[in-house]
Chains A and B, each alone.
Chain A
Amino acid sequence: MADTLVRPTTGQGIMMVNKVDIKMYQSPEKSTWCPGCGDFGILAALKQALVGLGLAPHDALVVSGIGCGSKLPHYLRVNAFNSIHGRALAVATGIKLANHNLKVIAVTGDGDGYGIGGNHLIHTMRRNPDITHVVENNQVYGLTKGQYSPTSEHGYLSSTSPDGSIEVAINPIALGMAMGASFIARGFSSDPKHLAQMIMLAVQHKGYSLVDVLQPCITYNHVNSNEWYKERVYKIEAENPNYDSTDRDAAWQKAQEWGTRIPLGVIYADPSRPTYEDQVPLLQRGSLLELSERAMRSDYDYESLKAEYM
């Protein structure tokens, strides 16, 4: 993977990078996931993407929420903050603002990222910090044993929706476009190679990048199974090499596709949008961490504050 050159649809080239070995990312921990879980593919893809980008484990910081998928950072050796349910993006933003030299990647599930974390999601999208958000979207609550999630389809049967879910599912792609997300892609856990490319492009994109990852929950979601996805997914690039992800109208059309055919790939990208950090003049002089270390050595004039109150 390290020598694979990925050509992004946004037209940016990939920087070729220092020597990073995938073994560096080997965690001592054994996963608690069910055998066959889609999370394995996502973990493999994320590792490959980090290696492919030439990032060492100390260059990146993975923030997660709570849920099966949010245990992911325990299964690769990397700086990580496994936070609380729904709040990964807020923690990730705080980390990014404090040290924008770190590549910050948030990993959440669908309930985590699109449900309980919905408010942070829409505001992070319009805020546009340079954070990549990988959503492990299996359309069900797995860790709590099979309740319907915000992406469960209308009519989905579960222990808390025995007559079928009444709500319509969230469309994260369209939501992202409406809220100003500057990069939106979709991957599939059973195609980790393609997913790794999506994650690499997302990390390289300057700004908030959403990678919605379709994945089966082999234990609780018996509707949206691996086969169900395989029958439907297709790669945009393969079908239409001229697809322009910066064309908002085309992307909006693509965002509506669901059901019989589900597009994978970079659906929307706006590389022109400045990041939040880029618009904070203070951060152009260095990371807040560097400035704060300086502050703790105390070469600021505090005495002059007194005059304001005299």
Chain B
Amino acid sequence: MVQVNDINIKMGGEAGQGVESSGAGFVRALAKGGLYIYGLQDYQSRIRGGHNFYQIRASEHPISSFSSNLQMLMAFDNETVTEHAHELVEGGAIIFDEGLKFNRADVDAGKVKLIAAPLKKIAKEVAGDDIMANTAALGVLAGITGYEISFMEDVIRRNFKRKGQAVVDANLAVVQRGYAFGADNHAADYQWKLQPMPNPKQRMVLTAHQAFCMGAVAAGCRFNAAYPMTPGTTIIEWMTAHAGKYDILTKQTEDELSAILMAIGAAHAGVRSLTNTSGGGFDLMTEALGLAGMTETPVVIVEAQRGGPSTGLPTKTEQPDLEPVIHAGHGEFPRLVMAPGNVLEAFHAGYRSFNLAEKYQMPCIVLTDMMLSTTQETIEPEDMDFSQVKVERGEYISKEQLDAMTEEWTYLRHAVTPSGVSPRAVPGHPKAVYITTGDEHDERGYITEDPPTRVAQMDKRMRKLEGARQEIAKPTLHGPEDADLTLIGWGSTYGAMKMATDILNAEGIKTNFFHYIDLWPFPAKETEALFAKAKHTITIEQNFTGQLARLMRVETGCVPNGKILRYDGHPFSQEDVVAAVKKEVNING
């Protein structure tokens, strides 16, 4: 009956009640014990109030998705009970402060345990202030699940160190009282237990945005300009927090136009440059995107999607911008689009985006979303391998090479070459004084409307895509080759789709999962090869129109047998995917 290290816990409350810090604290304590963690956050577009939650999944095995089925709900407000009590499984429990008033009819008392805990009372009695009720709650949670309190204590020491020993001691006393309450009164009849692994391996728990930044900075990114917009802002916040350590210059700008144009300016001058935004800000950047394409300036743009259109769902997840980023901007110019699906893919995208942008001298858009901005995953530290991060600058002419050039040598910034890539020198050297422009130009960079020159320049710019196509990350296949069902997705649905694939196979439904990472230039050959073998294909996306499905059709003629689309602002859980797939192919679950 007792189940160890396999639990889903949701903590909910109003903004400002400490849901996030409580969740983050518990995640850290579990990770220290050697458990794999998946941490999902959900909040609203407001500073105070509203309904927010932090959902933690813990396991002894690698996990890449959250579950719809909860074993524990920690309610800091009554809305948490109303909204989420039904997600609890038989035998699950709700921990709440004894003073919390909620409609008992929202809870199936025969199925779920109600644990009224004296959280505020403990905090007040022990520390003289009920502000530490959250700490008491974490103590109760650890007490009920039997998780060793020393791990909680370590987290408290680390988190409150800045606030002084008195605060640390008070929190320690509160967590101990909470722990005793949980262990003494409710541990015996609660079946889900947590315990540290023997010789716990220390792993990393982080978001994809954090991992992206680590890859980017390791590839030499040293300039990041941005205008704040959720959920893209976590990028420039990371870069700013690490600016001192890595000599990064970050610049908050007056708008997104300025953000991308400053990045283009800095990139033109020779610094690897980044901007980050979300859909609305990206719309503002589109004219400059074409300028980067035309002037062949390598710049990386993180577009963290959220629910659209217009202001849409500012803090909710969606994948509505795949076609927009592929087609953004008037006129035709080459670009790269990557859509990492998890922490490690984001780390790789961090350095790959800068390398490919510079090698092919074109903008690279990295498409992420709310999920990848805030969701925490566990990775093995050795999988984040900095030794494989190589700086590849392509046809970059160094200062030393320029020094060696003869006086007769004429630098042609936009030289027509077989690969389309023109050797790039940065301004500041007497042997490479040049102009570039968003107007059509000749090889020297001067404006022209001469038809043959126009055609030669257009051809050479677009030709670069053929080289880039050889270097993009190919889609991955998870599951058996000869499956009856093939699920197809891109971006942040990766984790849920992967775990759903495993569940379906375990249930005897032979399924595999084809996941796109890089989407432009589109991996057409791989798509065609998949469709040549696949028996029944279903695309799964978080948008209304099925943008990946349409892209596949446009680029290859391949049409999936079914489409699963979601646009309610919420991410797919593994169970959501399983249920939707069964419905799509008429299998009763």
Contacts and interface: CB of A to CB of B under 8 A. Distances in A.
Interface of A: 28-29, 56-59, 61, 63, 66, 71, 73-74, 77-84, 87, 90-99, 101-102, 119-120, 122-123, 280, 282-283, 285, 288-289, 291-296, 298, 300, 302-303, 305-306, 309-310
B473 interface: no
Given A71-B447, A302-B217, A306-B384, A296 B247 contact: no
Contacts of B255: 119
B214 A298 contact: no
Contacts of A59: 428
A97 B251 contact: yes
B262 A93 contact: yes
Interface of B: 31, 202-206, 210, 214, 217-220, 222-223, 225, 242-243, 245-247, 249, 251, 253-255, 257-258, 261-273, 287-288, 291, 295, 381, 384, 386, 389, 391, 393, 426-430, 432-439, 444-447
Contacts of A285: 247
A296 B391 contact: yes
Given A82-B437, A83-B291, A63 B206 contact: no
A97 B223 contact: yes
A91 B261 contact: yes
B422 to A, nearest CB: 16
B288 A84 contact: yes
Contacts of B432: 58
B288 A288 contact: no
A66 B287 CA distance: 13
A91 B435 contact: no
Given A61-B427, A87-B257, A92 B265 contact: yes
Contact of A289 (B426, B430, B446): B426
A306 B446 contact: no
Contacts of A119: 254-255, 257-258
Nearest to B211: A309
A147 B272 CA distance: 40
6 contacts: A96-B265, A97-B265, A98-B265, A98-B266, A291-B247, A306-B204
Q: Which of B261, B273, B295 has the most chain A CB atoms inside 10 A of its CB?
A: B261
A100 B187 CA distance: 64
B393 A58 contact: no
Nearest to B254: A123
A24 B494 CA distance: 58
A292 B272 contact: yes
B446 A90 contact: no
Contact of B291 (A56, A58, A84, A123): A84
B199 to A, nearest CB: 15
A95 B266 contact: yes
B31 A81 contact: no
Contacts of B203: 310
A105 to B, nearest CB: 13
A205 B202 CA distance: 55
Given A77-B433, A94-B267, A282-B249, 16 more contacts: A74-B435, A74-B437, A81-B435, A82-B438, A83-B291, A84-B438, A87-B258, A97-B262, A123-B254, A288-B222, A288-B247, A289-B270, A292-B272, A300-B245, A300-B246, A306-B204
Contact of B446 (A29, A78, A98): A29
A54 to B, nearest CB: 14
Contact of B202 (A80, A91, A293, A310): A310
B533 to A, nearest CB: 39
Nearest to B244: A282
Contact of A91 (B223, B265, B447): B265
Contacts of A87: 257-258, 261, 288, 291
A81 to B, nearest CB: 6
A227 to B, nearest CB: 32
Q: Which of B204, B205, B254, B430 has the most chain A CB atoms inside 10 A of its CB?
A: B254
A282 B250 CA distance: 11
A63 B160 CA distance: 50
Contacts of B389: 298, 302
B566 to A, nearest CB: 30
Contacts of A96: 265
A29 B433 CA distance: 15
B249 A79 contact: no
Contacts of A99: 269-271, 426-428
A102 B428 contact: yes
B268 A296 contact: no
B262 A90 contact: yes
A101 B266 contact: no
A39 to B, nearest CB: 15
A90 B265 contact: yes
A92 to B, nearest CB: 7
Contacts of A78: 433, 435
Contact of A292 (B222, B434, B444): B222
B439 A82 contact: yes
Contact of A84 (B218, B287, B386): B287
Nearest to A91: B265
Given A79-B435, A98-B223, A302-B218, A58 B249 contact: no
B482 to A, nearest CB: 39
Contacts of B430: 56-58
A80 B384 CA distance: 40
Q: 9 shortest A-B CB distances, which residue pairs? A: A94-B265, A94-B262, A82-B437, A90-B261, A98-B269, A98-B266, A80-B435, A79-B427, A123-B254
B427 to A, nearest CB: 4
A288 B432 CA distance: 20
B265 A95 contact: yes
B257 A101 contact: no
B271 A292 contact: yes
Nearest to B379: A309
Contacts of A296: 219-220, 272, 391, 393
B214 A302 contact: yes
Q: Which of A92, A98, A99, A298 has the most chain B CB atoms inside 10 A of its CB?
A: A98
Nearest to A310: B202
B428 A101 contact: yes
A295 B269 contact: no
A282 B240 CA distance: 12
B332 to A, nearest CB: 17
Contacts of A302: 214, 217-218, 386, 389
B436 A90 contact: no
B249 A97 contact: yes
Contacts of B446: 28-29, 74
A40 B267 CA distance: 31
A83 B291 CA distance: 7
Contacts of B433: 57-58, 77-79
B287 A310 contact: no
A81 B270 contact: no
Given A58-B428, A98-B269, A91 B249 contact: no
A102 B269 contact: yes
A82 B219 CA distance: 28
A150 B578 CA distance: 59
A1 B196 CA distance: 79
Nearest to B426: A289
A99 B429 CA distance: 12
Given A87-B288, A302-B214, A309-B210, A98 B254 contact: no
B436 A295 contact: no
A97 B267 CA distance: 11
A306 to B, nearest CB: 5
B204 A295 contact: no
B218 A63 contact: no
Contacts of A291: 222, 247
Contacts of A83: 261, 264, 291, 437-438
Contact of A309 (B204, B247, B272): B204
Q: Which of B262, B288, B381 has the most chain A CB atoms inside 10 A of its CB?
A: B262
A73 B438 CA distance: 13
A290 B62 CA distance: 42
